[in-house]
Amino acid sequence: KESKSKMPTYKGLEKFKLLDKMGDGAFSNVYKAADVASGQKVAVKVVRKFELNASQDGNKHLNPQFKKRPRVTERTNILKEVQIMRGTNHPGIVKLLSFSESDEHYFLVLELMEGGELFHQIVKLTYFSENLSRHVILQVAQGIRYLHEERGVVHRDIKPENLLFARIPIVPSKHPVQRQYDEEKEDEGEFTPGVGGGGIGRVKIADFGLSKVVWNEETQTPCGTVGYTAPEIVKDERYSKSVDMWALGCVLYTLLCGFPPFYDESINVLTEKVARGYYTFLSPWWDDISSSGKLAKLSPSKDLITHLLCVDPAQRYTIDEFLAHPWCHEAPAPPPPPT
C-alpha cells in the first residue's frame, strides 16, 4: 500500500525518511524508513513521551475542574526496553540499531523485519503444518533460551503479533505445507534448521516493552538488594521465566490448529479459563495432529503443549526442557509426491 504522501514528520527524526507505516502498537507507531545518508532501510518505532495517565472513563468520577488538568506521566519504561535491547545480540532477537529522543518522542531505530507479524501469516495460512510450526517455534525458542539463560531477561509479551519475519515469507499455495526449505532465503548462518525442511525463513522476537531483567547472571541471584528481598519476590523471580513458556505453549497451540487455546467472548469467562488452565485439543481440528497411533499416549506435539500449558509454574517446562523434548527433534516427513 502506498501511503507516502500521508507520512508524518517528526522533529528530531530528520535523519530518516519515513516510507510506510508497518505497525500500530498500543503506545507506538512503527514505520518503515530509510536512513537519508546511507539509504539503509530500517524500522523506526516512535513512542510519545507523555501519555494521559487515566483513560477518559477512569476520569469520570473526578470533578470537572480536576478533569481539565492534563494528568500525564512520562513513559520511563521505554528506557528499560532500550536498555534491555541494547544488551542483546542474537539472531532470534530484533536488533536495536540506535536510539534517540526529542522533546515529545522517543525513537527506536530497529532492524527492519520486512515479513511482518507471524500473526498475519497464521491468519493467511489458517494454520501451520507440524514441520513449519517446528521451524518457527524452534527459532523463537532459541531466542527465549538466549534471553532466559544468557541475559536473565523475561520477555513477558510473547505472542504472534510480536514475532516478526525478516523477509516476506514464501506462502505455500496449499495445505499441508511440505515445501522444501530454501537455503537462499535464509540470511543468517547461525540458524541451521535441524529439521531440514519446511521452513519459511527467519523469525525474530520483537517488542521488549514489557520485558524485565529478573536474574543477575554475575551474582546468580534475583535482581534487587539480596537479603532485603521479600519471599514473594524471590519466588516470583524464580518463576517469572515461566510466563514466557506458557506464552510459547499458546503460540505453538495456535500455530498447529489456527486458533488460540484460550478464548471466550466474555473477558471474565476467558480469565477464568486461563486461571484454571482450561483448554482442550478440540476435535476435529486436532484429530490429525501428531497422530501417533498409540492410543494410550499423547502425541508428541500434544504432550509438549501439555507441559507448557500447565497451571503450576513449578511444573511447567523450562526452556531447556522444551528444547530437549522429542517433538523438537523430529525429522520432517518427506514432501508428498507431486499431484
> Which residues are catalytically annotated?
157
d(CA 306, CA 316): 9
CB distance 328 to 322 below 8 Å: yes
Q: In terms of CB distance, is 51 or 150 closer to ligand ADP?
A: 51
In whole angstroms, the minimum distance from the beta carbon of 93 to Mg ion comes to 14
* Cis omega (within 30 of 0) for bond into 326: no
Kindly tell me which of 25 and 176 has the beta carbon lying closer to Mg ion. 25
Closest to Mg ion by CB, 30 vs 304, is 30
- Per-residue CA distances from 92 to 140, 245, 325 (Å): 6, 16, 20
CA-to-CA distance for 325 and 304, rounded, in angstroms?
7
Which residues of this protein are in contact with Mg ion, per CB under 5 A? 25, 162, 207
The residue (of 30 and 177) whose beta carbon lies closer to ligand ADP is: 30
Distance CA 104, CA 10 (A): 9
Residue set of the binding site: 45, 161-162, 207
- Written as nine digits, the cell of 266 is 466474555
Binding site for ligand ADP (CB under 6 A): 22-23, 25-28, 30, 43, 45, 94, 110-113, 116-117, 161-162, 164, 206-207, 209
**Which of 284, 238, 286, 246 is closest to 262 using CA atoms?**
246
How near is the Cβ of 118 to ligand ADP at its closest, in Å? 10
**Helix, coil or strand: residue 44:** strand
Choose the one of Mg ion, ligand ADP, none that binds residue 117, judging by a C-beta under 5 to 8 angstroms depending on kind: ligand ADP
Residue 159 Cβ, how far from Mg ion at the closest point, in Å?
Answer: 8
- What residue 256 binds from Mg ion, ligand ADP, none (CB within 5 to 8 A, per partner kind)? none
Taken in order 289, 293, 295, 300, the sign of the CA dihedral is negative
Binding site as annotated, residues for ATP? 45, 161-162, 207
